[in-house]
Structures are given as C-alpha cells and as structure tokens.
A and B are shown apart, each in its own frame.
Chain A
Amino acid sequence: MGKVVVVTSGKGGVGKTTSAAALGAALAQRKEKTVVVDFDVGLRNLDLVMGAERRVVYDLVNVIQGEAKLAQALIRDKRLETLYLLPASQTRDKDNLTAEGVERVIGALKKTFDWVICDSPAGIERGATLAMRHADVAVVVTNPEVSSVRDSDRIIGLIDAKTAKAERGERMDRHLLLTRYNPNRAERGDMLSVEDVLEILSIPLLGIVPESMDVLRASNIGMPVTLADSQSAPAQAYLQAARRLAGEDVPISIPGEKRSLLGKLFGWRAA
C-alpha cells in the first residue's frame, strides 16, 4: 500500500504546486512509483508546472464521474518513468468532486503507487478538505511571513479535526516545509526566523527551501525543480525533504548559513 501525502497551506501563492511537483519528482527519482494529483478543479496548474499541459486527455472529475478509467487519465512524465500526473478538470465545477469519488480514486491509486501526492488548492473549501481527507501525512507549506503562518495554523487545525484519520481518533503526521526562505533577510532580522515559525506552529520541520531564481526558471520551462537542475539549492532542499519523508534521517541545513566567499559577494542578487 502506498502512502498518501497532502501538500497544503491555506494561503495561496506560497509554493504548494511547486512543492508537490518537486517532492513528487524527487520521490520518483528514488525509483519509487509516484503520482501527483491536482485537486484544484477549475484552476489547474500542476500540469503546467510539470510540463504536461499539452497532453491532458482526461482528468480527476472524468474518473470520478465514470467517464474515463483511472489508467486513461494518468499522464506519465516524459523524463521520469516512475512519475505520473492526474490532472484536475479545468472546465468542470468543483462540486463534481465528491467525497465518495475521491475516496475511490485515492484507494485505487494507493494500490499501484508507492506515493500519492495530493496537491491541495488554496483556501479551506471543498477541494482543500477533500485533498487532505484521505492523507496519511500532511506537508504544510509555509512562507516566513505573518499571513502565511496564520493560515498554516488554521490548516493544521483542520488536519487535526476534519480528516478521515482524525475521525478515527488517530493523529496525522504533519510536517512543515518552509519555502521562499531568504537568507539575507533572515540575517538582517527582517524575516521570521526558522525558530520563530517552528515555535509558533510547533510541528516538525521537513525542510527549508530558499527563495531562488531556479524555482521560477523551472516552472517557466515546465519541469519540477528537482529535475530542471538537481544541483540547485532549492532542488537539493526538496531532494533532502523527500528523503526525510521516506523516513531517512537527514540533518536539516539552513540555507545561507555556510555561505562561501562567492556567495557573500553575490549575496545582493538574491535580496
């Protein structure tokens, strides 16, 4: 049985889709069969970030409504044969996402994949609650910024109360993925520090992804960050986060802490 991971945040624009694609690719790069599912019905973007936007035939709603088989709707990544995408519908109403339908699809995916990564839409409405409903693990994507931290706290509350696990009296593992971390601003003391966010949200840290041009560049060319340039700082952060998700004990490094002379000289570029 595969593991179901929801990538969620409450707030929009913090990097959920980027993170879902990057973590999915990172897990698939470990030769583990992975599918990334887009729950953002009506505003899908995972296909674009993963570079499969031209190849979408069927989507999650088609499968739930019985108009297509699950196998027909899955799109295999052109670069990684262990990576698949299940796109969201762009034209259908999100009310077509039914609790029973989602449960059926997730159940079927768990049987054939090692990892099922659910990319949640922003907000706390139907799409978001259904994306987290059947998860085993939650990755809460947060920016070191007040409104993002507040919304993450709200989402953690929902994870603890409104998921299938919570209703069975169990507690879901939740992990914090801190994204858009800017070492220069942290050094100047103008950004919430890692410790601040951890103390406020009090959930374990999965990784710290630095703010980087490489993230923008990867989405421009339609490749998960870890595939676009696996040596880049954000790719390394995601690859390490994926290893931790898979249960490996990998020490967390705070971006910018061991900056080289070159890094210091060019430090202004990232500011």
Chain B
Amino acid sequence: MNILGFFGKKASAPTARDRLQVLLAHERASVGDSDLVTRLREEILAVIAKHVKVDGEQVKVTMDRGDQVSTLEIDVEIPLKARVGAT
C-alpha cells in the first residue's frame, strides 16, 4: 500500500492515463477537422439549414467523445413558420 492509499485517496495516475488515451485517440483521428462526429455534425446542420431557417441560438449541439462510443446530440427548436420558402 502506498502512502496515498494509506490516507484514503485513490491513486489518480490511472485516471489521467485513461483520459489521455481517449482524448489523444480522438485528436489523432481528427487531423484537419475530418473526424466522423464533426463531419456528421456539419452535414446534419447543413441539411437542417436547407429545410428550416433557424437561428444559431435555437440549435444546441452536444458531443461526448468516449472510449468505445461517441455521442452527438443535435437539439433543434423548429418554429412553426420556419420552413425555408414558407409563405
């Protein structure tokens, strides 16, 4: 048992290593903004913009780059009269 264990604090280096591994895997894969999640995000937002006229404030994008799975959430508020070309 090391001195940290003795004082009841869990060693933090394994957490640091895991966080770095996940982060660097994503960063190495995304040279030049080309990673899949970013590309999907841009394309989905482009499709939405093609059909509805929404202000940036009404689009909430959250991402979580995980170890095995990443999530991409796009939350769009679509006003009734927001269809592009709607009269």
Q: Which residues of A contact B (CB under 8 A)?
A: 48, 53-58, 68-69, 71-72, 90-91, 213, 216-217, 219-222, 269
Contacts and interface: CB of A to CB of B under 8 A. Distances in A.
Contacts of A69: 56-57
A72 B19 CA distance: 24
B23 interface: yes
Nearest to A56: B63
A53 B15 CA distance: 14
16 contacts: A53-B19, A53-B23, A53-B65, A55-B62, A55-B63, A57-B61, A57-B63, A58-B61, A68-B56, A69-B56, A72-B61, A219-B16, A220-B13, A220-B16, A222-B15, A222-B19
Task: Give the interface SS of chain A, mostly helix, strand, loop or mixed.
Answer: helix
A87 B24 CA distance: 17
Given A54-B22, A57-B41, A58-B61, 17 more contacts: A48-B19, A48-B23, A53-B65, A54-B23, A54-B65, A55-B62, A57-B63, A68-B56, A71-B56, A72-B56, A72-B60, A217-B9, A219-B16, A221-B15, A222-B15, A222-B19, A269-B3
Given A90-B27, A91-B30, A91-B33, A220 B12 contact: yes
Contacts of A221: 12, 15-16
B61 A217 contact: no
A35 to B, nearest CB: 17
Interface string B1-40: 0011000010011011001001100010011110000000
B84 interface: no
